[in-house]
């Protein structure tokens, strides 16, 4: 990898995760826009509520927990490329859980047209956007020191 370009692939992957959720949500909303309703009662006929919103919250906690666990396994004495490879794995795990929670609830919204599921899908999506990789976060997460910090973009 060229110096100064090390975070670009991670940022592109993050953009792809965010775009997938956004495009799917817009598509689903345009399909069910005439039937949209809001029903937060527990006695719904559809078995997706409250399981899917709970799964959205679980995906946030699981993604963060697994990311932190993977980051803690990174050898501090390893070279920058090895650290970044482990960071990418941890980052992908976190993104996959967050995207999964969102997509699952958007699918439930498609089935039921209940806005509760779309609102539940927003929670993991917000966390996904929040965890956009930046030079500062990677330096903090991997505990990088000079000169490694200068090789990130």
Instruction: Return the structure tokens found at 43.
Output: 């006695």
Q: For the residues 16-40, what does the mean pLDDT come to?
A: 93
User: Which segment of 1-5, 19-23, 53-57 scores lowest on mean pLDDT?
Assistant: 1-5
Q: Please provide the average confidence, as pLDDT, over all residues in the chain.
A: 87
Cβ count within 10 A of residue 66: 15
The predicted model scores a pTM of 0.88
- The answer to whether the bond into 37 is cis (omega within 30° of 0) is no
Q: For the residues 98-114, what does the mean pLDDT come to?
A: 94
Tracing tokens 């826009």 back to the chain, one arrives at 33
| DSSP per-residue codes, 78-119 | S-HHHHHHHHHHHHHHHHHHHHHHHHHHHHHHHHH-BHHHHH
pLDDT bin (cut points 50, 70, 90) of residue 76 is: confident
């Amino acid at each position: 990898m060229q110096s100064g370009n090390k975070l670009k692939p991670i940022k592109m992957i993050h953009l792809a995760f965010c775009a997938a959720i956004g495009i799917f949500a817009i598509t689903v909303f345009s399909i069910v826009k005439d039937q949209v309703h809001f029903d937060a009662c527990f006695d719904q006929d559809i078995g997706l509520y409250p399981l899917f919103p709970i799964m959205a919250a679980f995906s946030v906690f699981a993604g963060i927990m697994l990311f932190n666990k993977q980051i803690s396994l990174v050898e501090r004495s390893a070279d920058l490329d090895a650290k970044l490879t482990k960071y990418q794995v941890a980052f992908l795990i976190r993104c996959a859980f967050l995207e999964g929670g969102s997509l699952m609830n958007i699918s439930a919204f498609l089935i039921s047209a209940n806005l509760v599921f779309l609102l539940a899908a927003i929670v993991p999506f917000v966390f996904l956007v929040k965890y956009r990789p930046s030079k500062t976060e990677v330096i903090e997460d991997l505990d990088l020191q000079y000169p490694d910090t200068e090789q990130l973009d």
